[in-house]
Amino acid sequence: MNDVFHDSNDTYQSRLNKRTIRKLDFILLPFLALLFLLNSLDKSNIGNAESAGFTHDAGLSAGDLNTSLAFFFAFFVALQPVGAALGRKYGMARWVPACMSLWGLCTILHIWVKTRWQLICLRIAIASLEAGFYPTTVSYLSLFYTRYEFAVRLGIFYGQTAVAGALGGVLSWAVFSRFSKPPSGPQLPPGETVDAMQNSGWKSWEVLFLIEGCTTMAIALVGFFWLPHSADSAWFFTTQERMWAEQRIRLDRESVTSTQKRRASKALQRTTSEDEETAERPSISFANDDDTGEAHHRLLDGHMEAGIRRRKMSTASAISVTADAGLTRHDVLSAVLNYKIWHLLICNILSAIPATAFGVFLPLVIKQLSPSLNLSPAASNLLSAPPFAFGALVLFLFTTWSDRIHQRLVPILCGLGLLLVGLMMTVMVGRSNYVLRYISLCILLSGSFIASPLTVAWLTNNTPEPGKRAILLGINGWGNLAGVFSALLFTPEDEANGYLRPFIVTLVCVAGSFAGFIAFWILLIRENQWRRDVTAGWTEEEREREEVFGDVEVSKRSSRSQLDVLTRGNLDLRRWLFDWLGADDDRRGDEKLTFRYGL
């Protein structure tokens, strides 16, 4: 009798979990991906417009474009943590659509640019509005998915950078083919076959800015109504699905034991039975139950267990774990003092140069693919689509693989290896062999988009605190400094030799990033070992207190390695700063010494 009940119960759990994830995958994720697609288009469309003579028609020099891009990325990068903090404070569902509406308007205003400073001011305005979009949206997305469901969804989301490159190329080809010639002479009378927009003075790049800007504004307005502030307020969930969407994230972040899961399941069943007498009885399943090796909370016993469980249940009932707003001083300070983010930031900057550079300059690189081809603007933009398509496909494959093996660093290193192969081929192949050079660009773009999203996936997996996670992603957003470097690297002076010098510099930077990620891997292994050594001499009561409160004193034993000095020194600096600023210095989330970092 009990076996039949459990089989039926497990079947319902499975159906409830699949139904919840399916709604997230087909309602929330595609809309967020669409927002990022439009964001990527608005960043890269100036490169497409330049291939059709934007600066020439506006009375600007080619160098003005690079200057405006340098200003764009300088402000975009500098304001990343600020944008992430504001997005977390006011909530993604409000903040992002408001910013998108304004930068869509700024995109349209490019049509009337006539001076260098008008262009620079518009790019600064767009950069300020877009700063924080990516970390805020990724932090928001991570609220709804468990750790090892997340990378493949992030791959779909981040892959819109590559899709934007491909779509931007195709869209530009369509627009530039239809509006290939600037208008000349007086307007023709009605009835003539010349397009009305050409007659009215519209140039191809003006039409491109108008289409993309209006689309961004329209979708942003929909976002105010589409995006929920949390899972328990999502319009597309039933009551049971809302409860389950909250509970599964709570269990994933706490990494509770099987006993706790069963107790939470019974508690949810009782609550649902009281609220909905006619509904089927739901219970809790855990999508990633095989991840017990990384659990960092332990089951408490006796009176301590009962007290802590009561406090957790009370907090869980009052606070949504998927709420898109909320930030504390502790979140900001602990993120800034996390030395790992600064290591990852350097690696991220070096690895992101190809993706940021080719998001803008690939149509121009392809236009200079071979002097004998003499490609038109429409043709060069169309040929930029396949490399980006390869990038999107390979990114999806790598993120799926990463979730399956529960690893981030191995796929990152493999992706950087693929990128290095593409860069070396591009450098070694002469411009006369344009077919092989184009293939090398496809390989290069295939590896360009892997490291950044998997770095973000590592950060979200290893940062249980949502507020701190948002700030860390904002700091990681300084990786967009790669855009400043790429704007300075791919200059008009390098067009004559097919951008050989920028390719060589990019190759050296990616090799440095590869070495940096290997060093980070070693650092994590040693950090986990240091924590095991520190906690080895603790009593069971001290372990339990650290897992719950994070305030057990670290013994001042003699250091056995430089990592001991670095880690303990970081703890001492953290305690002093937190006391000086009047913040609670108890360790939370990954700061607890019983926490073990995943690779």
Count CB neighbours of 549 within 10 A: 13
- Same structural domain for residues 223 and 255? no
Among 31, 83, 462, 21, which Cα is nearest to 231's?
Answer: 21
Instruction: Give me Rg for the CA atoms of the chain.
Output: 26
Give the structural domain span for 275: 233-323
Across residues 52-76, what is the average pLDDT? Answer: 85
Least confident piece of the model among 131-145, 368-382, 425-439: 368-382
pLDDT higher at 590 or 214:
214
Work out the pLDDT band at 567, boundaries 50, 70, 90: low
Among 293, 421, 298, 444, which Cα is nearest to 366's?
Answer: 444
pLDDT higher at 252 or 201:
252
- Same structural domain for residues 139 and 216? yes
Q: Is residue 282 part of a domain?
A: yes
- Same structural domain for residues 176 and 309? no
Q: Is residue 97 part of a domain?
A: yes
- Same structural domain for residues 286 and 348? no
Residue 560 has pLDDT above 90, yes or no: no
Distance from C-alpha of 328 to C-alpha of 17, rounded to nearest angstrom: 32
Quote the pLDDT of residue 46. 83
Across residues 84-112, what is the average pLDDT? Answer: 90
Q: Is residue 480 part of a domain?
A: yes
Maximum pairwise Cα distance, the chain: 91
Q: Is residue 112 part of a domain?
A: yes
Question: What are the tens digits of pLDDT across the range 228-247?
Answer: 988 888 999 999 999 999 98
Across residues 98-127, what is the average pLDDT? Answer: 92
Residue whose token pair is 């049971």: 240
pLDDT over 90 percentage in the chain: 27
Across residues 354-371, what is the average pLDDT? Answer: 76
Is residue 112 within 8 Å of 165, Cβ to Cβ?
A: no
Boundary-marking domain end, from 506, 523, 540: 523
Quote the pLDDT of residue 44. 73
Burial of residue 280 (CB within 10 Å: 0-12, 13-18, 19+) is exposed
pLDDT higher at 290 or 489:
489
- Same structural domain for residues 376 and 468? yes
Per-residue DSSP letter, 114: -
Question: What are the tens digits of pLDDT across the range 168-194?
Answer: 778 777 887 777 654 444 444 444 443
Is residue 513 within 8 Å of 507, Cβ to Cβ?
A: no
- Same structural domain for residues 502 and 467? yes
Least confident piece of the model among 51-55, 304-308, 417-421: 304-308
Alpha-helical (H) ranges within 179-320 are: 196-199, 204-226, 239-254, 258-275, 302-318
Boundary-marking domain end, from 290, 323, 356: 323
- Same structural domain for residues 169 and 288? no
- Same structural domain for residues 282 and 157? no
How many helices and strands (H and E) does the chain possess?
27, 0
Work out the pLDDT band at 357, boundaries 50, 70, 90: confident
Among 426, 401, 571, which Cα is nearest to 503's?
Answer: 426
Residue environment code for 347-357, b if the CB has 16+ CB neighbours within 10 A, otherwise e = bbbbbbbbbbb
pLDDT higher at 549 or 78:
78
Residue 510 has pLDDT above 80, yes or no: yes
Quote the pLDDT of residue 552. 80
- Same structural domain for residues 367 and 514? yes
Across residues 588-599, what is the average pLDDT? Answer: 85
Work out the pLDDT band at 349, boundaries 50, 70, 90: very high
CATH number (domain holding residue 381): 1.20.1250.20
Work out the pLDDT band at 562, boundaries 50, 70, 90: very low
Across residues 579-596, what is the average pLDDT? Answer: 76
Q: Name the pTM for this structure.
A: 0.73
Q: Is residue 460 part of a domain?
A: yes
Residue 107 has pLDDT above 80, yes or no: yes
- Same structural domain for residues 315 and 337? no
Which parts of 397-540 are beta strand (E)?
none
Work out the pLDDT band at 489, boundaries 50, 70, 90: confident
Work out the pLDDT band at 217, boundaries 50, 70, 90: very high
Residue 499, CA atoms < 13 Å, CB-side half-sphere: 28
Is residue 134 within 8 Å of 36, Cβ to Cβ?
A: yes
pLDDT higher at 307 or 223:
223
Quote the pLDDT of residue 278. 39
- Same structural domain for residues 221 and 244? no
Across residues 302-330, what is the average pLDDT? Answer: 53
Boundary-marking domain end, from 523, 549, 583: 523
Per-residue DSSP letter, 26: I
pLDDT higher at 119 or 13:
119
Q: Is residue 166 part of a domain?
A: yes
Question: What are the tens digits of pLDDT across the range 114-159?
Answer: 999 999 999 999 999 998 898 899 889 988 998 889 889 998 888 8
pLDDT higher at 107 or 435:
107
Work out the pLDDT band at 339, boundaries 50, 70, 90: confident
Q: Give the chain's mean pLDDT.
A: 78
Q: DSSP states of 477-511 as a string? A: GGGGHHHHHHHHHS-GGGTTTTSHHHHHHHHHHHH
Across residues 309-333, what is the average pLDDT? Answer: 60
- Same structural domain for residues 517 and 400? yes
Name the domain count of the chain: 2
Q: Is residue 591 part of a domain?
A: no
Q: Is residue 572 part of a domain?
A: no
Highest mean pLDDT among 8-12, 303-307, 396-400, 464-468: 396-400
Quote the pLDDT of residue 514. 96
Quote the pLDDT of residue 102. 94
Work out the pLDDT band at 564, boundaries 50, 70, 90: low
